[in-house]
Amino acid sequence: MASDLLHIDNLTVTVGGTIPLLNSITLSVKKGEVHVLMGPNGAGKSTLGNVLMGHPGYEIQQGSIHFDGQDITHLETEKRARLGLFFSFQNPEEIPGITLENFLRTSKSSITGVEENVFIFNLALKKIMKDLDMDPLYANRHLNVGFSGGEKKKSEILQLLALNPRLAILDETDSGLDVDAVRVVSQGIKQFHNPENSLLIITHNTKILQSIQADHVHVLVKGSLVASGDTSLIRRIEEEGYAPFLGQGGS
């Protein structure tokens, strides 16, 4: 546990006081590792991502979350972001009133505590946008407003690369992307990853893993982790679906 970047211990989460969404989840992610979280619709994958980021809409009934040895179970979202957690939303919100570039520069300044130089940040952002095959004019558009589904997902990867967190939780970042965009996003994830950071990739579509080697694969069913293993688990799911795992989850 000492060397874990993220350690989730026996975590049980409800919403509305009683409805259980996650049951006794225990999961560890070490520095440098890539973990994949799979599971049928409604299993609780996004809920886990939200809870790890400190979403106030969920109640932790038992268990703990440690990040780099620090207990963050009840820490505010902003402080988690400062520690280096990043969550890319399954359905990124449109935020009128702030441009993508201003949002990213302000976020980065807030996370690092160092005021970003406007000119230098703009140059760095343009470079990342070029790598992601994004039109630089999108930096001046209001955050995700009017972006297509795929453009929103690319914008999330732009945020990932600009903010450079220590643990990135990516929630279906590949959904709604065309074949070329999947390749670009997958390359973006590869570009981000290094031995000092970690990824928890929530996905239904393993094409996003074409550029990156996953170390561990977990299957979540009805709020419970029912299987963990290597990438052979992905092949098994692709061939047999979730049927062999159903009936194992739930409280």
Ligand X SMILES: Nc1ncnc2c1ncn2[C@@H]1O[C@H](COP(=O)(O)OP(=O)(O)OP(=O)(O)O)[C@@H](O)[C@H]1O
Q: Which residues bind Mg ion (CB under 5 A)?
A: 45-46, 90
CB of 39 to Mg ion, least distance (A): 9
β-pairing, 59-67 with 224-229? unpaired
CB of 122 to Mg ion, least distance (A): 33
CA 226 to chain CA mean position, Å = 20
Residue 222 binding result from Mg ion, ligand X, none, given CB thresholds of 5 to 8 Å by partner type = none
Distance CA 127, CA 99 (A): 18
Which residues, other chains included, contact 195 with Cβ-Cβ below 8 Å and sequence gap of 6+? 31, 32
List phi, psi (to 5°) of 231: -70, -10
Residue 44 binding result from Mg ion, ligand X, none, given CB thresholds of 5 to 8 Å by partner type = ligand X
Closer to Mg ion by Cβ: residue 103 or 245:
245
Residues 49-78 within binding reach of ligand X (CB under 6 A): 57
| Contacting range for ligand X; rule: CB under 6 A; set: 41-49, 158-166, 228-236, 239-247 | 41-49
Residues 86-115 within binding reach of ligand X (CB under 6 A): 90
Among 5, 11, 13, 21, binds ligand X (CB under 6 A): 21
The DSSP call for residue 206 is: G
Task: Check residue 43 for interaction with ligand X (CB under 6 A).
Answer: yes
Query: Could you identify the residue written with the tokens 């994830």?
Result: 189
Closer to ligand X by Cβ: residue 70 or 91:
91
Task: Check residue 41 for interaction with ligand X (CB under 6 A).
Answer: yes
Rg (CA), the chain: 18
Size of the site for ligand X (CB under 6 A): 12
CB of 50 to ligand X, least distance (A): 7
For residue 243, what are its two tokens? 């049927």
Looking at 92-217, list the stretches that DSSP marks H as alpha helix, in order from N- to C-terminal side: 100-112, 118-131, 149-163, 179-192
Neighbour count for residue 140 (Cβ, 10 Å): 10
Binding site for ligand X (CB under 6 A): 15, 21, 39, 41-47, 57, 90
